[in-house]
Amino acid sequence: MIDIKLIRENKELVKENIKKKFQDHKLPMVDEVYDMDIEYRKTKTEADEARSKVNTLSKEIGNLMRDKKVDEASRVKEEVANIKNKIPELEEKEIELEKAIKERMMAIPNIIADDVPIGEDDSCNVEEQRFGDPKVPNYEIPYHSDIMASFDGLDKDSAGRVSGNGFYYLMGDIARLHSAVLAYARDFMIDKGFIYCIPPYMIHSDAVDGVMSFEEKENMMYKIEGEDLYLIGTSEHSMIAKFKDQLLKESDLPITMTSYSPCFRKEVGAHGIEERGVYRIHQFEKQEMVVVCKPEDSEKWYNKMWQFSVELFRTLDIPVRKLVCCSGDLADLKYRSCDIEAWSPRQQKYFEVCSCSNLTDAQARRLGIRYKKEDGTKQYAHTLNNTVIAPPRMLIAFLENNLQEDGSVLIPEALRPYMGGKERLIPSK
């Protein structure tokens, strides 16, 4: 959520930002908020002045009664009663305006960085840099579910009977590999100085509204029937909400955390659920990194965070590239974002495995996350998040890039301690 001062002082800037995100249907909201804000402040001033006048006149009544000026006191009492009758109406109007303003402010997107590429959708995202040489072997790379099946490692048929489409059973060496990359990613981030955390997997609706837009909430989140609880779509949701309504110390910033969680997503929209493999599914596990910092440090942390992802994937012998997200591909709360995409030798193209975002103070304003500066002033913090690793999707890149001609899969040296020292996985089929 942006600062309402931007609309008061430069609403054309806010409108231009909306146009850059190709959300012209939201343009009327800016003028609505501008007009409502004027009315809200006027109403609030009237209500405050009325309450103040009641207090002043009430004291005057006491003085008049003490001086035996009963008639004059009665006249003032009547005036107080008239003012008091108007106050509830003013207070009700104030509440209604405040609610209407907040609803619109929550829908108006965050101001994006000046250097974000302008484009309507992800087809306009811009490749910035590659890391590692993408290779295509001279032997066939099977579809990832077939590779997993060769190790008796994937059972979607049983999962379909038990849970429906979009779920899976991982078995044997593939399941062990899944757990190994999560453990490796956890220790990788701990070695970078991040605090390890296992967060709640369910959060209240006010926490959900604090970390994402209403559209994302509708398309992603599963609600627990009969309770004010939602299953998290990523641990970022509960990790950022951890600081809801908190006044942090400047000396405690930055707060850097890495969190493990299962993730649950409806995946409503154009992408849909993949029928055959495990690329787009309703349930997966993830190691995340989250940073809460001072505004002047957020861009530095943004660059550190996506570079951590590149470094990790390269230790697993997976070529990757950095793809800068265009304006139309940015979620409403994001200032800037980039995807780290892994190379697929089978498809001979890259696909997303990590997403790194700087949300500036958009989440902090929604959640009330501030810090107290040394001079005593209070300021909203900046929040950032990035995927460390998210299997089973990342296993697609791992298996394809480490698959050998005989069907075995090499285990990179960095991962071997987490696989019981194994150097290679041997298929059972």
- Higher-confidence residue of 374 and 191: namely 191
Residue 58 has pLDDT above 80, yes or no: no
Lowest mean pLDDT among 61-65, 198-202, 218-222, 313-317: 61-65
User: Do 169 and 282 belong together in one domain?
Assistant: yes
Percent of the chain with pLDDT over 90: 82
User: Do 246 and 304 belong together in one domain?
Assistant: yes
Residue 338 has pLDDT above 60, yes or no: yes
125: alpha, beta or left, given left = phi > 0 and alpha = psi -120 to 50? beta
User: Do 270 and 405 belong together in one domain?
Assistant: yes
User: Do 373 and 401 belong together in one domain?
Assistant: yes
Q: Is residue 115 part of a domain?
A: no
Percent of the chain with pLDDT over 70: 98
This prediction's pTM = 0.90
Task: Quickly state the pLDDT bin for 77 (edges 50, 70, 90).
Answer: confident
Residue 64 has pLDDT above 80, yes or no: no
Residue 275 has pLDDT above 70, yes or no: no
What pLDDT is stored for residue 3 in this prediction?
Answer: 93
Which run of H or of E encompasses 317? none
- Complete DSSP assignment for 380-410: E-EEEEEEEE-TTHHHHHHHHHHB-TTS-EE
Helices (H), 254-329: 298-315
- In angstroms, the CA 279 to CA 191 distance is 29
User: Do 102 and 128 belong together in one domain?
Assistant: no
What pLDDT is stored for residue 271 in this prediction?
Answer: 60
What is the rounded average pLDDT of the residues 362-391?
96
User: Do 91 and 171 belong together in one domain?
Assistant: no
Number of domains composing the chain: 2
Q: Which of 53, 54, 44 is nearest to 95 (CA)?
A: 44
**3-state helix vs strand vs coil in the chain, percent to 5:** 50, 20, 30
Mean pLDDT of the chain: 93
For residue range 313-332, list pLDDT tens digits in order: 999 999 999 999 999 999 99
Among 107, 136, 160, residue at a domain's last position: 107
What pLDDT is stored for residue 273 in this prediction?
Answer: 61
User: Do 128 and 101 belong together in one domain?
Assistant: no
- In angstroms, the CA 182 to CA 387 distance is 11
- In angstroms, the CA 191 to CA 302 distance is 18
What is the rounded average pLDDT of the residues 378-399?
96
What is the rounded average pLDDT of the residues 284-293?
97
Q: Is residue 18 part of a domain?
A: yes
What is the rounded average pLDDT of the residues 204-223?
88
Q: Which residues of 322-342 are buried (b: 16+ CB within 10 A; e: fewer)?
A: bbbbbbbbbbbbbbbbbbbbb
For residue range 109-142, list pLDDT tens digits in order: 999 999 999 999 999 999 999 999 999 999 999 9
What is the rounded average pLDDT of the residues 394-401?
96
Q: Is residue 93 part of a domain?
A: yes
- Higher-confidence residue of 215 and 225: namely 225
Residue 270 has pLDDT above 60, yes or no: no
Q: Is residue 358 part of a domain?
A: yes
User: Do 81 and 217 belong together in one domain?
Assistant: no
User: Do 78 and 197 belong together in one domain?
Assistant: no
Q: Which of 3, 93, 83 is nearest to 40 (CA)?
A: 93
User: Do 93 and 205 belong together in one domain?
Assistant: no
- Which CATH number do you get for residue 62? 1.10.287.40
Among 56, 73, 107, residue at a domain's last position: 107
Q: Is residue 113 part of a domain?
A: no
Print the domain residue range for 350. 122-425
What pLDDT is stored for residue 272 in this prediction?
Answer: 58
- Complete DSSP assignment for 107-153: HSPPPPPTTSPP-SSGGG-EEEEEES-----SS----HHHHHHHTT-
- Which CATH number do you get for residue 220? 3.30.930.10
User: Do 186 and 261 belong together in one domain?
Assistant: yes
Among 59, 74, 107, residue at a domain's last position: 107
Lowest mean pLDDT among 54-68, 148-162, 237-251: 54-68
User: Do 143 and 41 belong together in one domain?
Assistant: no
- Residue 361: φ, ψ to 5°: -105, 15
What is the rounded average pLDDT of the residues 357-361?
97
Can you say how many angstroms the Cα of residue 303 is from the centroid of all Cα atoms in its chain? 17
Q: Is residue 292 part of a domain?
A: yes
